[in-house]
Structure 1
Amino acid sequence: MSLQKAKRIIKNGKEFLGTPYVFGAESGRTDRFDCSSFVQYVYGAHGIILPRTSRQQYLIGKSVPLTSVRRGDLLFFTTPKRARYKGIHKIGHVAIFIGNNSILHTSRVEKKVAIASLEPYWRKKLIGARRVVDTPL
């Protein structure tokens, strides 16, 4: 992903800081988001069309080793509800990596669009990363 495109995506996402989290928020709404509708909206505003759910989004783009994650990559997490499942069904959350060990996302934890540290809470739940910009979809 080009650094400039990542910066634009992150800047756009930050414009929604404080927007309420609502599980199952509809695609296209900007007055409330869940994790995947937020990611879908922000990337869509930059011409990157993503599916609606975090599990579907995990199938898009290129897998990235966690040691090679760059700004703008998508990070995928399990949640207490999903932890007992296997494979893709284990995924219950998606966020945008913004650098400095931080993510931009919305979740039940923060209850709004927020910037969060990966440490310690999210790091323990991290299960994968995908690069969806500059890769064939």
Structure 2
Amino acid sequence: MFAQQIISTGLQYLGTPYLFNSLTYQTDTFDCSSFIQYIFRVNGILLPRNSRQQFIVGVPISFKKIKKGDLLFFTTKSRKIRLGLSRIGHVAIYIGQGRILHTYRQGKKVMISELNSHWKQSFIGAKRVVGKP
């Protein structure tokens, strides 16, 4: 399954430090969207650089139908009062069993998180860029 290959690539970077506005296509540090962009690019899928641009690509998926490899988009405290695409402040990849692979916030690293109430309340939408809906 191609989605599992992308997830496996991402898991190789667990513990990589977060740095906002990390340089594209390098692996010393990541921010959320550079991480997603990198692990998809290594597997032959080109995505735009930031989470708002990434939200534009792919097929919309309802939360109830998310599958491994889908991109999940979230708002943040500083963006939740904004409108449209500008509300999006975070992207993660769904890895199954109610978990996401991502990196966020200074001091954090690439990690696996539970898709808990915090993330569900911040959820904006999901996109599938691998396979068919």
TM-score (norm 2): 0.96
1:87 aligns with 2:80: no
Match of 1:31 in 2: 28
1:41 aligns with 2:38: yes
Q: Secondary structure at the match of 1:129?
A: strand
Q: Secondary structure at the match of 2:100?
A: strand
Q: Partners in 1 of 2:116 and 2:93 — Cα distance?
A: 15
Unaligned runs of 5+ in 2: none
Q: Considering only aligned residues, what root-mean-square deviation do their CA atoms show, in Å?
A: 1.2
The equivalences for 1:42-81 within 5 A come to 42-81=39-78
TM-score (norm 1): 0.93
Q: Structure 1 residue runs of 4+, over 2 Å off? A: none
The 8 Å contact of residues 17 and 109 in structure 2, kept in 1 or not, is answered as yes
**How many equivalent residue pairs?**
132
Match of 2:6 in 1: 9
Question: C-alpha deviations, 1:52-103, integer Å up to 9, x for none?
Answer: 0000000001000111000000000000011010111100000000011100
Unaligned runs of 5+ in 1: none
Q: CA deviation at 1:123?
A: 1.4
Over the matched positions of the two proteins, sequence identity in percent amounts to 49
